[in-house]
Amino acid sequence: MLSRVAENVYWLARYVERTENTARLINVTAHVLMDLPVKVRFGWDTLLTITGSGPGVKGRGEAAVIRFLTADYDNPGSLISSLYRAREGARTVRDILPQEAWEQINAVYLEAGRNLARTPDPRARYNHLNAIVRGCQELGGIVEGTMSRDWAFEFLRAGRHLERADMTTRIIDVRAASRLPETVGDLTPFENVLWMGVLRTLSAYQMYRRHTHGMVRRPDVLTFLFTDPLFPRSFLHCVSRVEESLHGLPGADGPLRTARAVGKLATEVAPGDLKREELHQFIDDLQIGLAALNDRIKDTYFPAAHAAGQ
Amino acid sequence: MGKCIDWDAYAPGAAYDELIAGGGRARPGAGRLCRFLGRLSATELRERKAAAELAIQMMGITFTVYNDKRSAPPAGIDRAWPFDIIPRVIRKSEWDRIQAGLAQRVRALNLFIDDIYHKQKIVRDKVFPREILAGSRNFRPQCVGFSPPQKVWAHICGTDLVRDKDGTVYVLEDNLRVPSGVSYMLENREVTKRVFPELMGSIRVLPVHDYPAQLSDTLAAIAPRRVARPEVVVLSPGIYNSAYFEHAYLARQMGAELVEGSDLVVADDDRVYMRTIAGLTQVDVIYRRIDDLFLDPEAFRPDSAIGVPGLLRAWRKGNVGIANAPGAGVADDKVVYAYVPQMVRYYLGEDAILPNVPTYMCVDKKVRAYVLANLEKLVVKPANESGGYGMLMGPQSTKRERAQMAARVKARPREYIAQPLVTLSTAPTLVGTRPEPRHMDLRPFILSGRDVTVTTGGLTRVALKAGSTVVNSSQGGGSKDTWIVDTSRGA
């Protein structure tokens, strides 16, 4: 498998996953906001922080933030930019991807382009974003059901899970750091609303209930989302999947060591016990770990590494 | 919901129409198709058109236009492929003859190229003038004395055919460098299957899908190493090339790697390798979609950023197969073209089955005087351009354009040829829901290895503007599915 192609496949998967998570985030944020009392509403600007978009359109309100995060080609972190890059990436590897997978990415992109221009209408927005989440999930299904478990598949899976782990930490980070006091009695119902929102963003609510048999409480939610071995969007699960993919690739010793170290970071502490500031620091460490893992994969497999070795 | 298309009202004009003979009568082979279309209502026609557009968009059948800044995305340069749903029909009995003519022609061309890079017997026997060879822009001295496997230089040839008013099919040009379009031929059929499933079931349209397998066999056969599965790659200039869609398409269909110049490296052992995630892997055959001059900065243009340094060296050492072979373009020249009938006679001892369009060579003084005196009747073409660039269409030209062309011809006569205007045939093409005649040509693809195989039909390119004869997709052309229909008894 060509190094250049491996890089494109890996990034294409990351962009698709980023697209999906961005769409989830906007939808659930809208829902949570409706359930919170006005005085504790954290506002749309937090979404700019989660997606790492910088100040951008800060303070200009819902419509501007939504447009910036979904339909703005000039914002490299916008949903349409991610999708565009996923599609361009897919175009460069059309010979590698199953035909149906390419058609799916193409269709999601074309449909999103048509719909996002009209996104500010909240009713239509929910459906459009949901369609994007679905479209990305369908892509996962097509790849799962039609692609040989070759190296291209492993890069695709590694990219997807690395991005997913990263997005999970981002979503937790910003919610945890929002304006709500952590344990003030009269706000407890709203705190639950907030954590329920986090779970919903990650489609984790139902699985959380099934596997923890308990109420939605901050410590349990954090433990679940960081270290649950079975839930497919938990940090630990995602890192394990990356590790699994690396096992299928040649010469993966370096990246594997880093992946194990990143997984260990999450299990060394009890995330549920962390105070707000500690939690923030913990998440920072995880993200730095993921960035290091990304760099190891890049240095080991992607073209620049070869050019340097020539 | 009445019917929508009235063939009696369809007026083909002066050109030969491929489907309708006049008076609303369908030509042999096209009867069922025309009757079927005639039964559709306007709504149904619109639905079929929309279905085709949707299929093209969803399948991502695109072509690339340079410097297109009109769409919103940062580099939104791949455009949906323009396609007309009414197929063009050719009877199998006629096609058999054309096919034989194309195979004969390409056999002669390959013998010619091989001769030119060796003893040049055809020049010594005064069948082909030495001065024309001397003035050839596509002759590569680097290739002299080399013998590629099977002595084949042009493994893939795209020959453009046109049909004149009287129904005669002429060869307009042979594309021996990096001809493109075959992927659209294949995809057009896929779209037609989605749009007219009931027709495809009831009419005996010969299939076209075996091309990628044949191409794959042709390429594998020139691998220097005797290995069970030679490593075949498609070398593309990259995603911004106008034919990128096709490069990716063919690579996928053949299960070959799609590579760019930077993916390949020629090592000290003069072998070609590609950079993979597991290190370097040897490459056996390169189906290159890059022009000669950009192929290898060591041998040709040193400023080429899309080539592979040392590639020609590896090829000359016999360590890698390249299709088409470097230097094959020497026969892809509109002046050389004029001699193909003589080549057929010289090398094969046969008469050419397919005629050339009469060609006036401006390099000859007397002929040049005739051309200059008759510019308003002729089509003047540069010998080495493709894509329809730099042409003068005499009858539609202005006085100023003719004067400019005359100056160019006088300055560099070897670079120009002239031909009488061929009135390209037409076929009904939907404008809204109304069929109108539009001009078209046909590009079949010919594969040469141990055997010669010709695609079943080819890519029909159609000028979408009324009266226009410019069929290039870069200049507003579209395409149609091409049906070779078996009309023999029992068919």
Domain-ending residue, one of A104, A129, A147:
A147
| The pLDDT of residue A88 is above 50 | yes
Residues 6+ apart with CB under 8 A from B204: B485, B486, B491
Res B491: pLDDT? 46
A89 and A40 assigned to the same domain: yes
- How far apart, in Å, are the Cα atoms of A244 and each of A147, A226, B226? 17, 18, 37
| The pLDDT of residue B216 is above 90 | yes
pLDDT digits (tens, 9 = 90+) for B422-440: 999 999 999 999 999 999 9
Res A187: pLDDT? 54
The Cα A191–Cα A193 span in angstroms is: 5
A251 and A202 assigned to the same domain: yes
Residue B278 and residue A303: Cβ atoms within 8 Å?
Answer: no
Residues 6+ apart with CB under 8 A from B302: none
A180 and A100 assigned to the same domain: no
Alpha helices of B317-431 — where are they, by DSSP H?
Answer: 334-337, 340-343, 365-373, 399-411
> Is B133 contained in some domain?
no
> Is B38 contained in some domain?
no
Res B68: pLDDT? 41
Res A98: pLDDT? 92
| The pLDDT of residue A185 is above 90 | no
> Is B373 contained in some domain?
yes
Q: What's the rounded mean pLDDT across residues A249-254? A: 95
**Partner-chain residue, chosen from A1, A2, A107, that has the shortest CB–CB distance to B58:** A107
- Residue showing tokens 């022009």: B291
A156 and A190 assigned to the same domain: yes
Q: Count other Cβ atoms within 10 Å, centred on residue A45.
A: 16
**Bridge partners, residue B257, by sequence:** B233
Are B485 and B89 a contacting pair, CB within 8 Å? Answer: yes
A234 and A289 assigned to the same domain: yes
The Cα B161–Cα B173 span in angstroms is: 7
Res B66: pLDDT? 52
**Partner-chain residue, chosen from B74, B248, B278, that has the shortest CB–CB distance to A95:** B248
| The pLDDT of residue B79 is above 80 | no
Q: In total, how many domains does chain B have?
A: 1
By three-state DSSP, how is residue B74 classified?
coil
**Bridge partners, residue B445, by sequence:** B158
By three-state DSSP, how is residue B78 classified?
strand
> Is B292 contained in some domain?
no
| The pLDDT of residue A208 is above 80 | yes
Residue B274 and residue A2: Cβ atoms within 8 Å?
Answer: yes
Res A308: pLDDT? 35
Give the residue, A16 or B475, on which the prediction is more confident.
A16
Residue B249 and residue A251: Cβ atoms within 8 Å?
Answer: no
**Bridge partners, residue A276, by sequence:** none
Q: Count other Cβ atoms within 10 Å, centred on residue B195.
A: 22
Q: For residue A177, what are its two tokens?
A: 């750091």
Res B297: pLDDT? 94
The Cα A103–Cα A108 span in angstroms is: 9
By three-state DSSP, how is residue B312 classified?
helix
Model confidence at B179, in pLDDT bands (50, 70, 90)?
A: very high
Indicate the angle between helix axes A99-116 and B42-59, nearest 10 degrees: 110
Are B184 and B246 a contacting pair, CB within 8 Å? Answer: yes
Sign, CA dihedral B254-B259-B263-B268, equals: positive
Res A91: pLDDT? 86
**Short-list B179, B83, B146, CA closest to B473:** B83
Q: How far is CA A11 from the centre of its chain?
A: 13
Q: What's the rounded mean pLDDT across residues A181-190? A: 56
**Short-list B183, B171, B195, CA closest to B54:** B195
Global pTM? 0.85
Residue A103 and residue B60: Cβ atoms within 8 Å?
Answer: yes
Give the residue, B489 or B180, on which the prediction is more confident.
B180
pLDDT digits (tens, 9 = 90+) for B357-401: 999 988 889 999 999 999 999 999 988 776 667 889 888 899 999
Model confidence at B71, in pLDDT bands (50, 70, 90)?
A: very low
A104 and A157 assigned to the same domain: no
Q: For residue A291, what are its two tokens?
A: 């960035």
pLDDT digits (tens, 9 = 90+) for A35-49: 777 766 667 887 887
For A253-284, b/e burial (b = at least 16 CB within 10 A) is eebbebbeebbebbeeeebbebeeeebbebbe
Q: Count other Cβ atoms within 10 Å, centred on residue B69.
A: 8
| The pLDDT of residue B96 is above 90 | yes
A13 and A142 assigned to the same domain: yes
Res A305: pLDDT? 44
| The pLDDT of residue B443 is above 70 | yes
Model confidence at B115, in pLDDT bands (50, 70, 90)?
A: very high
| The pLDDT of residue B62 is above 80 | no
Q: In total, how many domains does chain A have?
A: 2
Chain B residues close to A107, C-beta within 8 Å: 58
Scanning every residue of chain B, which has its alpha carbon at the shortest distance from the alpha carbon of A298? Answer: B277
Q: For residue B368, what are its two tokens?
A: 């040049």
Q: What are the two backbone dihedrals, phi and then psi, of residue B169, each rounded to the nearest 5 degrees?
A: -95, 125
The Cα B330–Cα B333 span in angstroms is: 7
| The pLDDT of residue A126 is above 90 | no
Res A37: pLDDT? 72
The Cα A124–Cα A130 span in angstroms is: 10
Res B357: pLDDT? 94
C-alpha angle B118-B120-B122 in degrees, rounded to nearest 5: 140
| Domain range enclosing A44 | 1-147
By three-state DSSP, how is residue A281 classified?
helix
> Is B355 contained in some domain?
no
Give the residue, A102 or A182, on which the prediction is more confident.
A102
Q: How many CB pairs under 8 A join A and B?
A: 72
Res B348: pLDDT? 97
- Residue showing tokens 């290739």: B143
> Is B436 contained in some domain?
no
Average pLDDT, chain A: 86
Residue B260 and residue A4: Cβ atoms within 8 Å?
Answer: yes
The Cα A253–Cα A300 span in angstroms is: 9
Chain B residues close to A92, C-beta within 8 Å: 239, 248
A141 and A155 assigned to the same domain: no
Residue A1 and residue B58: Cβ atoms within 8 Å?
Answer: no
Chain B residues close to A306, C-beta within 8 Å: 275
Pairing of strands B78-80, B83-91: unpaired
Res A197: pLDDT? 84
E strand or H helix at A238, and its extent?
helix A235-247
Res B69: pLDDT? 39
Residue B467: HSE in the Cβ half-sphere, 13 Å Cα cutoff: 3
Indicate the angle between helix axes A3-35 and A79-92, nearest 10 degrees: 160
> What is the Cα Rg of chain B in Å?
23
Alpha helices of B5-70 — where are they, by DSSP H?
Answer: 31-39, 42-59
Domain harbouring B392, CATH code:
3.30.1490.270
Residues 6+ apart with CB under 8 A from B372: B406, B409, B410
Give the residue, B63 or B10, on which the prediction is more confident.
B10
Q: For residue A169, what are its two tokens?
A: 């930490």
The Cα A112–Cα B285 span in angstroms is: 41
The Cα A111–Cα B50 span in angstroms is: 16
pLDDT digits (tens, 9 = 90+) for A16-73: 999 999 998 888 888 777 777 776 666 788 788 777 777 777 777 888 888 888 988 8
Give the residue, B125 or B81, on which the prediction is more confident.
B125
A132 and A162 assigned to the same domain: no
Model confidence at B490, in pLDDT bands (50, 70, 90)?
A: low
E strand or H helix at B393, and its extent?
strand B392-393
Res A117: pLDDT? 75
C-alpha angle B126-B130-B134 in degrees, rounded to nearest 5: 165
Q: What's the rounded mean pLDDT across residues B299-312? A: 92
The Cα A103–Cα A82 span in angstroms is: 17
> Is A91 an 8 Å CB contact of chain B?
yes
Chain A residues close to B276, C-beta within 8 Å: 1-3
The Cα B424–Cα B393 span in angstroms is: 13
The Cα B90–Cα B234 span in angstroms is: 32
Residues 6+ apart with CB under 8 A from B255: B216
The Cα B383–Cα B50 span in angstroms is: 40
A200 and A236 assigned to the same domain: yes
> Is B209 contained in some domain?
no
pLDDT digits (tens, 9 = 90+) for B142-159: 999 999 988 999 999 999
A143 and A3 assigned to the same domain: yes
Res B230: pLDDT? 95
| Domain range enclosing B388 | 360-420
By three-state DSSP, how is residue B158 classified?
strand
Distance from CA of B158 to the nearest CA of A (A): 23
| The pLDDT of residue A310 is above 60 | no
Residue A84 and residue B72: Cβ atoms within 8 Å?
Answer: no
By three-state DSSP, how is residue B282 classified?
strand
Residue B239: HSE in the Cβ half-sphere, 13 Å Cα cutoff: 17
B369, with CB counted inside 10 A (0-12, 13-18, 19+), is exposed
A138 and A256 assigned to the same domain: no
Are B215 and B193 a contacting pair, CB within 8 Å? Answer: no
Separation of first and last alpha carbons in chain B: 32
| The pLDDT of residue B11 is above 70 | yes
Res A66: pLDDT? 87
> Is A250 an 8 Å CB contact of chain B?
yes
Res B67: pLDDT? 43
| The pLDDT of residue B2 is above 70 | no
Domain-ending residue, one of A147, A171, A192:
A147
Res A224: pLDDT? 95
Q: How far is CA A208 from the centre of its chain?
A: 18
> Is A92 an 8 Å CB contact of chain B?
yes
Res B76: pLDDT? 47
Are B328 and B322 a contacting pair, CB within 8 Å? Answer: no
Res B65: pLDDT? 59
Distance from CA of B292 to the nearest CA of A (A): 23
